[in-house]
Chains A and B, each alone.
Chain A
């Protein structure tokens, strides 16, 4: 804002509604000529207007068709629904909103969204500002009434019931039990974090009652059976794991009969939530080597400690052959600014903020191995504290009840 602008104008700007686009471009020295007037569309915006006739009741024929599919009770429900909703309302409302106050995202508002809808506060009417504590005489009276009306075979439960119903204040009951609070609402429910989805979304398809996806893609082989037996996972869980083949090349064995070429594959597997494993395999067939390395990676999956489920604890180093990897923890939102092999490993393990440096050599196989070694070599602060007999506190967890 220019200093030359008079103060009157400055104050006006607070009350004036900002125009949707500037009349004169601010980039006055730009080579592209600025349009002097607001651009208008060449054609008027044609909206799909819905009319009440498009929402007609079912005809008798259609109802006969429907009756084949639905039970009489369901048919009754359909008819009741038709009767209840006016076609005019449907024409008005059965479409996405286009008014300026519309929501910028799609949501059916059937689930409570943490951070937006969470913490339904008690209404202000619940509170009564002139509440008074009850006097001692009132309590004595209450106890007297309880003892007078006490049944002959009174038990402890009777007294508990009485004690729970005992009020401390006079006046509105809701004012004592469920008062209105001006405190900041909780952003997250118990067990919820930004990265962890809502409990609704965390449910698998089977729990939601959806149809199981067909497992035709991977038929049951002997190797897969053995993998299921060894790991205890179901086929579904194995399919949901993130596996990726990172390194593939040939290896040659020189014998007196000549060179024997075989395919080498190195795969990683992770569940995206702290488990990561690497597996390598060699075979005459590349597809065999790939499958075998995948299964080995799944069998080798081990937990990797993650700080706040997004980055690592401290800076760690790993070495394999001539590759020296240095992994560095980073603040939230930093992202994975790492080399592609380590990127894939982080994705599989569920690490989202990390940076890495590769010293000396950059051999692919050794990079993966060194990065895995580094990830496994993290030191747990709890263990450090126990080893040194000291109390270590993560000061980040002190604020916001440790939920950030």
Chain B
């Protein structure tokens, strides 16, 4: 689990939203995929598609690439093409502003931060706990890597799970 690559993904997404791109791609990995799916579940991304070096064709109705595209289809992963796979992410904009505002790492490659439920509960209530600033703005989220996958911080508290803090989205 490389946090270096995750840091690159975070800054790449920040750059892509600042450039108002509609679709962008990041290297394929299991952690990146799970984080992107968590972001999509929280409504930050419109689509997450695993494709090749060129962007997958857009869905005829939705207008952006979709995993369940029956006409074009998604190329299945084989041993031959797995190395060239990338994750293609659809970025969202609302009111002339990016929905995915600012992604920033909490854990760093050299210093990983793990929180238990008690501390996480403090954080989502807006208090600082063990060097992690609280969630004090509306719509602010923290994503954690737990033993049940990558989850949003409030979801973790609901499920009484602690974990490694990956990144913060504002």
Contact = CB atoms under 8 A, between A and B. Distances in A.
A388 B95 contact: no
B139 A379 contact: yes
Interface in B71-109: 92, 94-95, 97, 99
A328 interface: yes
Contact of B43 (A315, A316, A390): A390
A60 interface: no
B11 interface: no
Contacts of A379: 137-139
Nearest to A389: B43
Given A387-B92, A390-B42, A390-B43, A381 B139 contact: yes
B140 A388 contact: no
Contacts of A383: 94-95
A381 B138 CA distance: 6
Interface residues of B, number: 13
Contacts of A387: 43, 92, 94-95, 97, 99
Interface in A366-391: 379-381, 383-390
Nearest to A387: B94
B157 to A, nearest CB: 13
Nearest to A394: B138
Contacts of A328: 136
Contacts of A329: 136
A387 B98 CA distance: 9
B44 interface: yes
Contacts of B99: 387-388
A313 B43 contact: no
Interface in A285-323: 313-316
Contacts of A251: none
A392 interface: yes
Given A383-B94, A383-B95, A388 B42 contact: yes
Contact of B139 (A315, A316, A389, A392): A392
Contacts of A315: 136-137
Give the most central of B43, B138, B140: most A CB within 10 Å: B138
Interface in B118-170: 136-140
Chain A CB count within 10 A is highest, among B95, B137, B140, for: B137
A383 B99 CA distance: 10
B140 A314 contact: yes
A381 B140 CA distance: 10
A389 B39 CA distance: 12
Contacts of B94: 383, 386-387
Given A389-B43, A390-B43, A384 B136 contact: no
Contacts of B136: 314-315, 328-329
Contacts of B44: 388
Contacts of B42: 388, 390
User: Which of A329, A379, A380, A392 has the most chain B CB within a 10 Å cutoff?
Assistant: A379
Nearest to A382: B138
A315 to B, nearest CB: 5
B163 to A, nearest CB: 22
Contacts of B97: 387
A388 B137 contact: no
A74 B8 CA distance: 88
A135 to B, nearest CB: 52
Interface string B45-87: 0000000000000000000000000000000000000000000
A176 B58 CA distance: 65
Contacts of A388: 42-44, 92, 99, 139
Nearest to B134: A315
24 contacts: A313-B138, A314-B136, A314-B140, A316-B137, A329-B136, A379-B137, A379-B138, A380-B138, A381-B138, A383-B94, A384-B138, A384-B139, A386-B94, A387-B43, A387-B95, A387-B97, A387-B99, A388-B42, A388-B43, A388-B92, A388-B139, A389-B43, A392-B138, A392-B139
Given A314-B138, A315-B137, A387-B43, 19 more contacts: A313-B137, A313-B138, A314-B140, A316-B137, A328-B136, A380-B138, A381-B139, A383-B94, A383-B95, A384-B138, A385-B139, A386-B94, A387-B92, A387-B94, A387-B95, A387-B97, A389-B43, A390-B42, A392-B139
Interface of B: 42-44, 92, 94-95, 97, 99, 136-140
Which are the 5 A-B pairs with shortest beta-carbon distances?
A: A388-B43, A314-B137, A387-B94, A384-B139, A381-B138
